[in-house]
Amino acid sequence: MVKPYTSETDTIRRRYDRTALFYDWMDTMIPAKLRRKAVEQATGKVLEVGVGTGANLKFYLPGCQVTGIDFSLGMLQKAKQKLFRARVPVTLVEMDAQQMTFPDNSFDTVIATCVFCSVPDPIQGLKEVKRVCKQDGRIILLEHVRSENPLFGWLMDVFNPIALHVIGSNINRETIKNIQEAGIQTYSIEEYSGKIIKLIVASPA
């Protein structure tokens, strides 16, 4: 059963329903080789949070069993069209990352790519990621974040309201701080594109 969305979450959801029509073009801003590097680290029973239009599905290695969630039906409809590309079993479910209905310790791997820029309460969403990941499991996050360069960071702050209104994503999230506040332990952080894109491997323990 899908839990009722908060008004803020519903607003963002509707924006993603709208942008689903051209979101595949936006996804090209993250290089495919970087997506592959993130996704190929997933093993076992996998949860992909914010599966979007399914750009990652073709990269999962045999042996994975993937559940992909998204709060946007428009995105899920696009993802269904890519199921044939997957080499592993994939189940798609409408669900809010902030209110997952999975039991604790459900997944060996939890992965998200460019998701916590759009979750209205990112710390709550990350706490849910921690909860549903097994204690000896792995959390993989590929995220774009606020620039550490003072000028670029300021520009991202200035243009963030436009990005949030048009697309539904925040371009100035400080995701590393949010991960730490959620109680997730990071093992490694790789930085790309002037440190704006980060590949984070972490653990709930």
**Of 119, 139, 132, nearest in space to 185 by CA:** 139
- Radius of gyration, alpha carbons of the chain: 16
Q: Is the pLDDT of residue 187 over 60?
A: yes
* Cα 129–chain centre separation: 10
Q: Is the pLDDT of residue 159 over 90?
A: no
Give buried/exposed letters for 172-187 (b at 16+ CB in 10 A, else e): bbebbebbeebebeee
pTM: 0.87
Of 200 and 14, more confident: 200
Q: How many C-alpha atoms does 109 have within 13 Å on its Cβ side?
A: 24
Integer angstrom CA distances of residue 96 from 6, 113, 120, 178: 10, 15, 10, 18
* Cα 155–chain centre separation: 24
Of 154 and 107, more confident: 107
Give tens-digit pLDDT for 55-86: 999 999 999 999 999 988 888 999 999 999 99
Supply the pLDDT for residue 10: 78
* Residue 124's pLDDT band (cuts 50, 70, 90): very high
Supply the pLDDT for residue 163: 76
Supply the pLDDT for residue 156: 82
Spatial separation of the C-alpha atoms in residues 177 and 194, rounded to whole Å: 18
Q: Where are the beta strands (DSSP E) in the chain?
A: 45-49, 65-70, 90-94, 107-113, 133-144, 185-192, 197-203
Q: Is the pLDDT of residue 1 over 50?
A: no
Q: Is the pLDDT of residue 95 over 80?
A: yes
**Beta strand pairing call for 185-192 and 197-203:** antiparallel
What share of the chain has pLDDT > 90, as a percent? 62
* Mean residue pLDDT across the chain: 88
Structural domains of the chain, ranges and CATH numbers in brackets: 7-203 (3.40.50.150)
